[in-house]
């Protein structure tokens, strides 16, 4: 199934303000617009065991939503009835070629955000944030990922403040909450006003 067909057939789960599924779903691409209903999503930050470097990725230029934007390791939407942890693992394997993440844990269970419009797209998501570890480099799906690199937490903080870095809205928005929870609270940020 090509990426366009997959986006047209994937469904997002609509939720209440507390993240509880309403029982309703909508097509993924058609559900992201000026009046986007609140729906369930996730973000995941993948760290490398050896040095705790963070994997950042660039969304493929061919993607209809936020093309070319740099962001945290992997984001996505669970399918109806799919546990969030399973959705994280599924998307990490599909997007990053990383089938065996270890230590997957939710670090921001109630994170929620709404983006300003970006090329007609608005994100309105109840989006628990996860962290996981790996020992290997990604082998990304080019339909999903246009680029990737490992960065220190300090370098990541710098990228989020750099307007030329083209970092995602949600990565910037999550940072202040992430930096005070484990494991991120133990990472040093050098020469930063973040």
- Quote the radius of gyration of the chain (alpha carbons, Å): 16
Which stretches of the chain are DSSP H helices?
Answer: 3-9, 84-96, 153-161, 169-178
Whether 34 is catalytic: no
The catalytic residue among 44, 85, 125, 127 is 125
Residue burial 6-28, b: 16+ Cβ < 10 Å; e: rest: ebeebbbbbbeeebebeeebeeb
**Is 32 flagged in the annotation as binding?**
yes
**Is 85 flagged in the annotation as binding?**
no
**Is 82 flagged in the annotation as binding?**
no
**Is 39 flagged in the annotation as binding?**
yes
**What is the distance between the alpha carbons of residues 193 and 51, in angstroms, rounded to a whole number?**
23
Copy the structure tokens of residue 132. 């996981």
Question: What is the crossing angle of helices 153-161 and 169-178, to 10°?
Answer: 130
**What is the distance between the alpha carbons of residues 45 and 50, in angstroms, rounded to a whole number?**
15
Residue 149: which of 170, 167, 129 has the closest Cα? 167
**Is 35 flagged in the annotation as binding?**
no
Whether 106 is catalytic: no
**Is 125 flagged in the annotation as binding?**
yes
The catalytic residue among 75, 85, 127, 144 is 75
**What is the distance between the alpha carbons of residues 107 and 56, in angstroms, rounded to a whole number?**
18
Copy the structure tokens of residue 59. 């969304």
Binding site as annotated, residues for Mn(2+): 32, 39, 77, 123, 125
Annotated binding site for Mg(2+): 95
Residues marked active site are found at: 75, 125
Task: List residues forming the annotated binding site.
Answer: 32, 39, 77, 95, 123, 125
């Amino acid at each position: 199934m090509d990426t366009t067909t997959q986006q047209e057939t994937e469904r997002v789960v609509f939720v209440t303000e507390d993240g509880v599924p309403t029982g309703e779903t909508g097509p993924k691409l058609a559900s992201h617009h000026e009046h986007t209903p609140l729906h369930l999503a996730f973000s995941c930050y993948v760290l490398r065991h050896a040095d705790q470097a963070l994997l950042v990725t660039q969304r493929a230029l061919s993607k209809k939503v936020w093309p070319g934007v740099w962001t945290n390791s992997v984001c996505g939407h669970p399918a109806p009835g799919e546990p969030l942890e399973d959705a994280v693992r599924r998307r990490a394997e599909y997007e990053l070629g990383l089938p065996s993440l270890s230590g997957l844990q939710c670090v921001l269970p109630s994170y929620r955000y709404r983006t300003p419009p970006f090329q007609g797209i608005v994100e309105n998501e109840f989006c628990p944030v996860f962290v996981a570890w790996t020992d290997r480099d990604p082998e990304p799906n080019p339909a999903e990922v246009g680029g990737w690199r490992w960065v220190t937490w300090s370098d990541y903080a710098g990228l989020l403040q750099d307007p030329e870095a083209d970092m995602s809205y949600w990565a910037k928005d999550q940072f202040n909450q992430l930096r005070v929870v484990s494991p991120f609270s133990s990472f040093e940020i050098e020469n930063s006003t973040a």
